[in-house]
Structure 1
Amino acid sequence: MRFAFGTAPVSATGPVVVSSLGVRLALAALSAVLLNFAFPVAGPMPPMRAVLSMVALLPMLVAVIGAGAARAARPLREAALCGYTTGALWYGMNCYWIYATMHQYGGLPPWVSAGIVVLFSLILGLYFALFALLAAFVRKATGRLLFAACAVPCLWIAVEYLAAHFTCVPWDQLGYSQVDNLVLTRLAPWTGVYGLSWVLAGVNAVWLGSFYARTRRRQVRFAAGALVLTCGLQAGSLLVRAPEVAGAEAVLLQPNLRVGAGTGDENDWVDRPGDPEWSRHTAEYLRLSGTPCTPYLLGMPEPVPIEVRRECWGPARQPTIVAWPESPSPFRAWDPRFALLLQQLRIETLATTVVGAPAVGVRSELYNAAVVTRPNGTAEGQYAKIHLVPWGEYVPFKRFFKFAGTLTQNVGRFDPGTERTVFALPDGHRMSIFICYEAVFASEIRLFAKNGAEVFVNISDDGWYGDTSAPWQHLNMARMRAIENNRWIVRDTNSGVTAAIDPLGRVTESVGRHKLTALTADYGYRTRMTVYTRWGDWFAWLCEILSLGGLGFVGRRYWQDSVAKRQV
């Protein structure tokens, strides 16, 4: 059966025919606003607000591949502009916290901080422009909106995957909006977060059909189907399941040290001989690490915290892991006082300790690391952070970006680690550690579980984000890593959110942000590998192959039809 691409007339029977570029740009901007509210804005997001992700792309799709868009004089160019408008605005709204990180905490001038946000948004907005361009090309090449709408989910994943691996900023991919949905997240152990994004993009495409089906009856059917899909899938946010079984405990210190420009002296305890600050701080940390009865919050720490007082454990029930997070403390792995502190911590807790501190490699490399010590006092080793933060822990093209040198204490100095280490615990189980920004890289975190880790320890310093949306966005991405790999995560941060996350991605226990405290967190071990753990981004690759194959097919047929028309 042969398809005559490019010859079908543009249907305008639907109720929405938007030809004006200005109106279409406004629709694109509306998509950015809707998409922004499908993610945390200033605190934890109410789960039902995630329903916006099922319609957020619709205005942009109308602007890009709707009947009016197909009638434009330059449909591809205008579609790319509409997509770029959505992308640039959305990244600017979703990542507005970059300004505070750079200015308030990094000490950069306001105009430089604002310029970084604008440049960041303009660069990453190009991915939305690429998606819109490809969708519009399918629309133009086939002459049929239905084909373009069917291509939307795979094209979305193809571009989302490209963004994750080309510019390496997979922040708030569409599927993360559904992290509280106990129905949709069942896809994640199979497909990773990309499966959720595919479903959401597909629902948006079905909604598009309700505007542009050829008959009124079909429009009603599309609308009814889209409504059933939206309500049915989103109902997963209302489901409640029994708590996951936990058989071990970890103590997670939250030191709540100030971060940012001008705090170097305040946090620099070790370099002033005779200063009692080192003793005062470390004594408090040791006390909290050895106190199992601190109160905790049931579930998320906001907006309505539910405080619970834990019963003290007996001598036979001690914590297995004690973690101190990545923080702007003066801890250095090569410092003799730090080694003595680890010895005191081991004696106090009789647990495997994980402490965030810069460390030196065998060839004098400087790592952002987690130092691990066994209960018997022997050094287990260290995990050196592999995926560093650009313009934070290292400066790309350092010659051209010298102004970024004040962002962190060691900016531009850290070297990336190379080994995804698995550490043995005294109870016979195994753990792995990932640090801060690494939580957003699904394809990398899964390798820890593939290498044998039965629980994840995540240490992070989210103090750089301040009271913005970023700590909650970061938390949700870490929660997705628990779901994808069927693993518990004990997440220890400098200023919050410090929490235990079960294999369904639920925050089971936490402590309030901006408090000096410790969380005694229940967690469990899992050994079963998920499909995603074993095979990684196979689903995203399938979407890439289908997208490239489909584009090649319709492009070839469109070229043949164009040649045939010129010969007539």
Structure 2
Amino acid sequence: MNFKLFRRIPVDPETRKKRRKFTGLAAVAGLLSGLAFPPVPGFPLIFFAIAPLLYILDSDEKLISKLRYTYLYGFIFSLISLYWVSAVTELKDSFLLIGGGLLQFINPVFFLIPAALFHFARKKFGSLPALMLMPFFWFSYEYFYMETEANFPWLALANSVTYFKPFIQIADLIGGPGITVLIVYINAFVYLAFKNYTISRKNAVAYAAAPVLLILIPVIYGLSIDQTELTKGEKLRVGLIQPNLDPYDKWGGAELSSIVDEYMELSKKSAEKGAELLIYPETALPVYLLNGSYPAALDSFYSIARNNNVYLLTGMPDLRLHEPGEVVKGSRPVPNSKLRYSVYNSVLLFAPRDREIQRYGKIKLVPFGERVPYVEKLPFLSTFFSWSVGISSWNEGTDTTNFRLAPFRQFKDTVSISGIVCFESVFPVFMAEFALKGAQMFAVVTNDSWYGNTSGPYQHKEISVLRAIENRKYVVRAANGGISCIIDPYGNTLASSKMFERTEITGDVVLNREVTFYAGTARYLPAFSMTLSVFMVLLTFMIWLRSKLKI
């Protein structure tokens, strides 16, 4: 008997040719999508980068084949845009290398969601209706990804066009999610123009006009905006402190007093320039400052606020104890005690006149970097992932609370600011919640130095441009080693540091209490897109069930 475990199935030349063609198209689509992202100024590519993928999905290939090509697209897209996420250029921590490597393979899986939904819609309604639904299917994947524990929605299409300032001004109406929908529509019409070129020139011209209009209308809206309106009003002078500490050395046992001295020196320079709010980066000190073990460092932070008559907002690890019976998700038992504890990647606010400290615990944690996804349900995962520096098992914060600066100096009213920790600035709907709760500006504390001078820190900074426009509020970023900056409500960077520069940036921020149309309706598009997608899944399931039951 001639038996082979893996028998090669004969493929005719035409099929082989088509496979090579589709593989090439998927690779080209992934390449163009990746090159559209900062810091490369290739954003025009995103307006036709997805069209080759739509060509594949609109074919008569089987679903499994379409999913293979889509995964290839997503993998190449992710590899080009997110090569930095495993800190491969630093090669200092195996946990980051493994976690970042896993993300490279997990990211493309989520692209299969819109591909499958499109396939089902095309099968039921036809090609054109499916293409018109595809933008909402695509955003439903982005939003679904944002809401999972493995969330890393860095590749939201809107993040590719932050250099195209006139186009993205419409984000105050539709947000980054709406811009993603626009981008997919533009690609759909580019594909339709190509598809109809040899069939009907008249239709092809009409379809070609659609993407031009979809770009032109937002640009006209953006150019019509008065960019001086939100630069007038009550101002708060902020000082962004960038100490440029090597994060691996800091967490590896650097002397605490020398780190505190760095902050005190830079803070004094900024205070002499009139700073009223000093902002330190994420995890400014590698210790639980408030647990009672570091009184000298804690007194130094109090004295910085008191002696300079400033508020001090700082990223800081925070340990909280819970009384017996107090239920806190993910809390752990204190050895030989009935107490439990939680640890948070937090932001603390020190006041100039009292010793009350306001706290916020980071809610959106980096998967495999700050927390292993689903570790509560699958505890054994924690044995495989342990970061050799920093802390890789933070608890999730519980509420989107703003910090309140009591009236001081020239301020007669309380000032409300949000303290966003690093990765959280990637989530548009999440940040809109702070605006709805009265935030007058956003302060992002971050530490992107883990990834070296790669695309990551530049992409992260540009994402804040979208958040500023969506909410029409100033966004300031205090980064350990860069990029610290002040971004105005129109996405303009007014001041910025360089990577790996020890410096401080002092400048004015105009406070704004108004809520944009987008911030007030941020959950509408996700609700609509998810409903549409769930309906498509249920409809497909019902059709399948009827065929099986022969109803």
Same fold (TM over 0.5): yes
Superposition pairs for residues 476-555 of structure 1, below 5 Å? 476-549=462-535
**Partner Cα separation in structure 2 for residue 32 and residue 237 of structure 1:** 29
- TM-score when scaled to structure 1? 0.80
Bigger Cα displacement from structure 2, 463-472 vs 99-108: 99-108
Query: Which of 393, 415, 440 is residue 370 of structure 2 equivalent to?
Result: 393
SS of structure 1 residue aligned to 2:299: helix
How far is the alpha carbon of 1:225 from its aligned partner?
3.8
Number of the residue aligned with 2:345: 368
2:20 matched to 1:33?
no
- Aligned counterparts of 1:85 and 1:356: Cα–Cα separation in 2: 38
The residue type equivalent to 1:150 in the other structure is M
Cα contact 1:421–1:432 (8 A) shared by 2:
yes
- How far the C-alpha of 1:34 sits from its partner, in A, is 0.4
2: distance between equivalents of 1:28 and 1:182?
29
- In the alignment, what sits opposite 1:306? none
CA contact (8 A) 1:176 1:476 kept: yes
1:8-407 aligned at under 5 Å gives the runs: 20-40=18-38, 44-46=39-41, 49-65=42-58, 69-70=59-60, 72=61, 75-100=62-87, 104-108=91-95, 113=97, 116-142=99-125, 144-166=126-148, 167-213=150-196, 214-227=199-212, 229-230=214-215, 242=227, 244-245=230-231, 247-260=235-248, 264-265=251-252, 267-270=253-256, 278=257, 280-292=258-270, 318-327=274-283, 329-334=285-290, 335-363=294-322, 364-395=341-372, 396=375, 397=378, 399-407=380-388
Q: SS of 1:155's equivalent?
A: helix
Hey, what's the Cα distance between the residues in 1 that align with 2:383 and 2:535? 44
Q: What is the CA-CA distance between 1:419 and the residue it aligns to?
A: 3.0
| RMSD, matched Cα | 3.1
1:422 equivalenced with 2:415 (yes/no): no
- Shift of the 156–522 alpha-carbon distance from structure 1 to 2, 3 Å rule, reads same
Q: Aligned pair in 2 of structure 1 residues 540, 18: CA closer, same or farther (>3 Å)?
A: farther
2:168–2:222 contact (8 Å) kept in structure 1:
no
Residues 236 and 507 (structure 1 numbering): CA distance in 2 closer, same or farther, change over 3 Å?
Answer: farther
Q: CA deviation at 1:369?
A: 1.7
**Please, which moves more after superposition, 511-520 or 342-351?**
342-351
**Worse-superposed segment, 453-462 or 527-536:** 527-536
In 2, Cα distance between equivalents of 1:368 and 1:558? 47
**Displacement of 1:498:** 0.2
Spell out, residue by residue over 1:271-304, the C-alpha distance to the aligned partner (whole angstroms, 9 max, x if none): xxxxxxx2x54334223212249xxxxxxxxxxx
Q: Secondary structure at the match of 1:199?
A: helix
* Structure 1 contact 141–555 (Cα < 8 Å) conserved: no
Structure 1 residue 245 displacement after superposition: 1.3
Shift of 1:195: 0.3
What amino acid does structure 2 have at the position aligned with 1:218?
Answer: N
CA apart distance, 1:156: 1.2
- Measured against aligned partners, the alpha-carbon deviations of 1:104-153 in whole angstroms (never above 9, x if no partner) come to 24245xxx93x6445323322122222222212322333x4222221221
Q: Give the length in aligned residue pairs.
A: 500
Distance in 1 between residues matched to 2:44 and 2:219, nearest whole Å:
6
Write the distance in 2 (CA, Å) between the matches of 1:163 and 1:264. Answer: 31
User: Matched residues in 2 for 1:217 and 1:556: separation?
Assistant: 39
- 1:319 is displaced (CA, Å) by 2.0
3-state SS in 2 of match to 1:481: helix
1:3 corresponding residue in structure 2: none
Contact 2:33-2:50 within 8 A present in 1 as well: yes
Q: Give distance in 1, aligned partners of 2:534 and 2:399.
A: 34
In 2 relative to 1, CA 99–152 (structure 1 residues): closer, same or farther, beyond 3 Å? same
Task: Give 5+ residue unaligned stretches, structure 2.
Answer: 1-14, 323-340
d(CA) in 1 for partners of 2:203 and 2:284? Answer: 60
Between the aligned residues of both structures, percent identity stands at 25
Give the C-alpha shift of residue 478 in structure 1.
Answer: 2.2
Separation in 2, partners of 1:367, 1:551: 38
Deviates more, 1:475-484 or 1:508-517: 475-484
Asked if 2 retains the 8 angstrom alpha-carbon contact of 1:322 and 1:349, the reply is no
Q: Distance in 2 between matches of 1:322 and 1:392?
A: 27
Return the letter of the residue paired with 2:345.
N
2:327 maps to what in 1? none
- Please give the alpha-carbon distance, in whole angstroms, between the structure 2 residues aligned to 1:161 and 1:284: 40
Relative to structure 1, is the Cα distance of residues 61 and 330 closer, same or farther in structure 2, using a 3 angstrom cutoff? closer
| CA distance in structure 2 between the aligned counterparts of 1:379 and 1:116, rounded to whole angstroms | 38
* Deviating more after overlay: 282-291 vs 91-100: 282-291
| Partners of 1:28 and 1:83 within 8 A in 2 | yes
The answer (yes or no) to whether the contact 1:391–1:407 under 8 Å persists in 2 is no
| CA distance, structure 2, for counterparts of residue 408 and residue 195 of structure 1 | 38
Deviation at 1:519, TM superposition (A): 0.5
Matches of 1:227 and 1:559, distance apart in 2:
43
* SS of equivalent residue, structure 1 residue 386: coil
Equivalent pair of 1:380/1:423 in contact (CA under 8 Å) = no
Tell me the SS of whatever aligns to 2:285: coil
Give the TM-score normalised by the residue count of structure 2. 0.82
**Structure 2 SS opposite 1:368:** strand
Which ranges in structure 1 are unaligned for 5 or more consecutive residues? 1-16, 271-277, 294-311
1:468-483 equivalences under 5 Å are: 468-483=454-469
* Residues 524-544 of structure 1: CA deviation (Å, up to 9, x unaligned): 111111233233221122122
The residue identity in structure 2 corresponding to 1:340 is: D
Local SS of the residue matching 1:30: helix
Contact 2:465/2:492 (8 A) holds in 1 = yes
Please tell me whether the aligned partners of residues 289 and 318 of structure 2 are also in contact (alpha carbons under 8 angstroms): yes
Q: Secondary structure at the match of 1:404?
A: coil
Q: d(CA) in 1 for partners of 2:517 and 2:321? A: 36
CA shift, 1:227, in A, is 4.5
Query: Retained in 2: the 8 A contact 1:83–1:130?
Result: no
Q: What is the identity, as a one-letter code, of the residue corresponding to 1:390? A: P
Cα offset, 1:236, TM superposition: 8.2
Change (3 A) 1:543 1:251: same
Decide whether the 8 Å contact of 1:182 with 1:236 is kept in 2.
no
